[in-house]
Amino acid sequence: MALADVFTGAIWFGPAYLLIIATSAWCLGSRTAVFAGCACLAISIAANGYQVYPYGALAAAWNMAMRVVMVLAVVAVAAKLRGAYEAEWRLARTDRLTGALSRQGFFELASDMKESRSWTLLAYADLDGLKKLNDRQGHRAGDEGLHLFSKRVLQMIRKGDKFARLGGDEFAIYLQVKDEEAAKSVATRLHAGMNTVPGTKWPLRCSVGALILPPGPRSIDTELCAADELMYEAKALGASLIAATASHQNGDLKTIERHPGLTPATGKLRLRLAASN
C-alpha cells in the first residue's frame, strides 16, 4: 500500500489505510491496530509530505490531529464490535445452566481439528442418578447438581481445554496431554474429581469413558462413538472409569491397549465405530 501511495501521487489512499486499521483491530486487537494506524500515518506523511496541505503549517497540524482522532475512533469501534461478536458467539454456543459448551459449540470447535501433533484425551462422562434426583427432589435440585458438577470440572481443566454438555446428563472433555501416561493420570484425576463434587446436598456419581489418542489424524464423530461405548461399560460397573488407547489405522479407529489398572474392568474392548467423515 505504501508503494502504491508513493507512485500514484495524487490518488487519496485514506479509505484503504482505514481498512487496514479496522482489519487489524478486528483480527489482531486494539494495540496492534493502533500501531498499524501510526504506521499508516507515517507512510502517508513520507509519501505525500505537506503538498496536500496548501494552507500552511497550522492547517496541516489540525489535519494530522483529526487523522489521529479518526484512527483511534476506528480502532475503538472495530474493537467494540469484535467484543460484541465474541460475546454473542459464546452465548449462542454455551449451555447457560452449566457454563459448558453446547453440543453445537463443541462440534464446531472439535471438528476443525483434523490432525493433532500431541496426545489427546477424550473423556465421555455420564451422571448417574440425575433422573432419580429430579423425580425425588425436583428439577431445581437436579439443576443445582449439574451446575456444581460443571463448576468442579471447569476448576480441574485448563482454559484452552474443551468441556461440553452434549445433552441431559452427558458431558465431554477434549484436551491435549504430554503422553499416554499423562493421559491416564488426567483421566484418573478427572474421574475422582467428578465423583467428589463439593457443596451439593445430593451428590451425583459419574461414569467416565476415557479414549486416549496418539499424535495423528482426528475424527471427532468416530472418537466420540468409541468414548461413549467406554462410558457405557463404566456405567454398567457403577460410576467407574474405563480407559483405552486407540489409533486411526487405514481410516478405522482401532484399540491399541486397554488400561485395566485404572478400573476393575477386564476383557477386550469392542467398539462399534461409525465411518469417519
Q: What is the pLDDT of residues 107-166, one digit of tens each?
A: 888 877 788 999 999 999 999 988 888 888 898 899 999 999 999 999 999 988 999 999
pLDDT level of residue 273 (50, 70, 90 thresholds)? very low
User: What residue spans define the domains of the chain?
Assistant: 2-92, 103-262
Q: Is 169 a catalytic residue?
A: yes
What is the spatial distance between Cα 8 and Cα 243, in angstroms, rounded to a whole number? 66
Tell me which of 5, 95, 126, 169 is the catalytic residue: 169
The mean pLDDT value for 7-30 works out to 81
What is the spatial distance between Cα 252 and Cα 250, in angstroms, rounded to a whole number? 6
What is the spatial distance between Cα 257 and Cα 54, in angstroms, rounded to a whole number? 79
What residues are paired with 94 via a beta bridge? 101
Phi/psi of residue 225, each to 5°? Answer: -60, -45
For the cut 90, the answer to whether the pLDDT of residue 182 exceeds it is yes
| CATH homologous superfamily of 103-262 | Reverse transcriptase/Diguanylate cyclase domain (3.30.70.270)
What pTM does this model have?
0.70
> Over the range 65-96, which residues count as b (16 or more CB within 10 Å of their CB) and which as e?
eebeeebeebbeebbeeeeeeeeeeeeebbbe
The mean pLDDT value for 218-229 works out to 93
